[in-house]
A and B are shown apart, each in its own frame.
Chain A
């Protein structure tokens, strides 16, 4: 199996968050529909060359958010009660957060930012 996760060293977020994002994206675009089995933690870790403990943390956080379900001895799979809209919503919110931060550092006001955003809606 090849998961082709790509990480960016320029991304300042911790690695486990980047893994979570990549998994959520795969679920959001429908590549990993509900009930899809996830690779075992060790399998994914050795495949994407990231430490086991980091992948474990990503899975734990995803489980806490209700995106995946994990059962001891059985592995993990994509939750079937998952709300696609909510997932996409979360993803959108992450993008907005990034945009907000960037705007703030460039001293762009909220109104200005809103105006800029209108171009895309």
Chain B
């Protein structure tokens, strides 16, 4: 069976004056949620903007909902709802003004759903944007994107700066839109909990490159922390998948990716006792990945 792709990036390169995206391959199956994780300046926003057709890559090919970008962006953007952290509405106008504006553009606009969202988000149509709090502004922007019933939602940091209650409302509505299994979501977030909760796939970006991109369950499953006791101070086995070693006397915590049962055996064979094997949260994986990538980059620069 051939699953249709919502997004297909192949070997995207894009050079900015201070930063560069390198050979980005990214595919998103229709009906799934892709979460982009990475530190500030890793290139998340640039990737999303390229996918929206707002920036043209220097090389590589890109299809969004079957349309090649940026050439076919008009047709593609009729079916995409884009919300970015730095997106603003017109201060002097009301929420209702923006609703009328979007409604006049999209024949897919669902007025009933818009009204439902207003109620759920505690927004009032006649409120001027000027008087809204940050959370209310994000919710208003989100409502405008969701009520046009897009096939693909592209959200750049949708939950940044929101309080936990509003964050939950936003995530809930993102998930609600997935009841239709042809809809897909691509979003970036600093908040690893958000990504961990609703993503089907996770892509980890560092310094303009994709470090890892796989389904969330395998992603989380592939990382483990082994708690070891090293009574005789034996050298640790030199495994390529060791990402971090924290030692304190005879106790040792080793973080690995690509974990399988043989990993623990390697340590046992080397004369260490495996006390415990733990799963990591996405946040812990995130931090470990960044540190490892940083060390790798520094050692490349130094050598």
Contact B199 A51 (CB under 8 A): yes
Do A46 and B217 touch across chains, with their CB atoms under 8 A apart?
no
Residue in chain A with minimal CB distance to B177:
A46
B217 partner residues in chain A, CB cutoff 8 A: 16, 53-54, 57
Which residues of chain A (6-34) have a CB below 8 Å from chain B?
Answer: 9, 12-16
Which chain A residues lie closer than 8 Å to B250 at the CB level?
Answer: none
Pairwise interchain contact B178-A54, C-beta atoms closer than 8 A: no
Interface contact A49-B198, CB-CB below 8 Å: yes
Chain A residues with CB under 8 A of B215? 53
Contact pick for A49, options B172, B201, B221, B278, CB 8 Å: B172
A15, A49, A52: the one contacting B32 at CB < 8 Å is A52
Which residues of A lie under 8 Å from residue B198 when comparing CB positions? 49-51
B181 within 8 Å of A (CB atoms):
yes
Interface contact A49-B193, CB-CB below 8 Å: no
Known A51-B198, A53-B217: A46·B279 in contact at CB below 8 Å: no
Contacting residues, chain A, for B220 (C-beta < 8 A): 14
Say whether B178 contacts A46, CB under 8 Å.
Answer: yes
With an 8 A cutoff between CB atoms, is B254 at the interface? Answer: no
Q: Which residues of A contact B216 (CB under 8 A)?
A: 51, 53-54
- A42: chain B residues within 8 A (beta carbon): 178-179, 181
- Neighbouring B residues of A82 by C-beta, 8 Å: none
Chain A interface size, as a band, is 10 to 19
Which A residues, 28 to 44, have Cβ-Cβ distances below 8 Å to chain B?
A: 42-43
Tell me if B200 counts as interface (CB < 8 A to partner A): yes
Contacts of A14 in B (CB 8 A): 220-221, 279
B69 within 8 A of partner (CB): no
Q: CB-CB < 8 A to A45: which residues of B?
A: 175, 178
Query: Smallest distance from the beta carbon of A75 to chain B beta carbons, Å?
Result: 14
Residues of chain B within 8 A of A12, CB atoms compared:
278-279
Residues of A within 8 A of B279 (CB): 12-14
B33–A46 touching, CB < 8 Å: no
Which of chain A's residues have a CB closer than 8 A to the CB of B278?
12
Residue B176 at the chain A interface, CB threshold 8 Å: yes
CB distance B179 to A50 under 8 Å? no
**Nearest 5 A/B pairs, CB to CB:** A53-B200, A49-B175, A51-B200, A46-B179, A57-B217
Jot down 19 A-B pairs with beta carbons below 8 A, ordered by A.
A9-B193, A15-B196, A16-B217, A42-B179, A43-B179, A45-B175, A45-B178, A46-B176, A49-B171, A49-B172, A50-B175, A50-B198, A51-B216, A52-B33, A53-B200, A53-B215, A53-B217, A54-B216, A57-B217
> Chain B interface (Cβ within 8 Å of chain A)?
31-33, 171-172, 175-176, 178-179, 181, 193, 196-201, 215-217, 220-221, 278-279
